[in-house]
């Protein structure tokens, strides 16, 4: 399963980028309980974090690796990868392109791959509409949170 969506955000690239820094992980991921550095340094390629989420009444922890962290004045990219419950490999790529002083193109692309027969079956059985809604909800959260940061200039 793959997706790629784009959205223009009426905020400076630096404001939007703040949301993708490790110290602000809980802003973008409200269900995130913990985001703890376990290897290398925050906000760099090769960083690994233990992320914990409540799923129902159970705490799930994943090791999330930053595969790419690029921070230039006009373009910013963060690619993260993790395995979920031994069933799926998940990749997220967040790209920000400066389109003007107060205009940023946000591109969100990702893949989910089943690692086992069960994982593959679960992806096939899942609702494509629901997955699309999840992607759009996340993008709208980025836009809303970036606007809030923009008001706090």
Reference 25, options 53, 58, 54; nearest CA is: 53
Other Cβ atoms within 10 Å of 86 Cβ, number = 10
Per-residue confidence in pLDDT tens, the chain, 153 aa: 899 999 999 999 999 999 999 999 999 988 899 999 999 999 999 999 999 998 888 899 999 999 999 999 999 999 999 998 889 999 999 999 999 999 999 999 999 999 999 888 888 888 788 888 989 999 999 999 999 877 765
**Residue 11 three-state SS:** coil
Query: With contact defined as beta carbons under 8 Å apart, do 37 and 53 qualify?
Result: no
CA 5 to chain CA centroid, nearest Å = 13
- DSSP labels, 40-90: S-TTSTT-EEEEEEEETTEEEEEEEEEEEEEE-SSEEEEEEEEEETTTEEE
Give, in degrees to the nearest 5, the angle at Cα 88 between 87 and 90.
Answer: 160
């Amino acid at each position: 399963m793959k997706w790629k969506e784009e959205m223009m955000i009426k905020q400076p690239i630096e404001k939007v980028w703040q949301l993708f820094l490790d110290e602000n992980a809980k802003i973008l991921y409200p269900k995130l309980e913990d985001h703890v550095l376990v290897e290398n340094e925050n906000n760099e390629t090769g960083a690994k974090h233990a992320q914990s989420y409540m799923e129902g009444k159970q705490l799930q922890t994943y090791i999330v690796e930053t595969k790419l962290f690029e921070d230039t004045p006009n373009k910013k990219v963060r690619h993260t990868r993790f395995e979920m419950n031994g069933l799926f490999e998940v990749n997220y790529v967040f790209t920000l392109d400066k389109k003007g002083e107060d205009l940023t193109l946000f591109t969100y692309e990702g893949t989910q791959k089943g690692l086992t027969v069960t994982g593959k079956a679960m992806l096939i059985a899942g609702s494509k509409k629901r997955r699309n809604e999840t992607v759009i909800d996340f993008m709208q959260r980025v836009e809303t949170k970036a606007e809030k940061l923009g008001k706090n200039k």
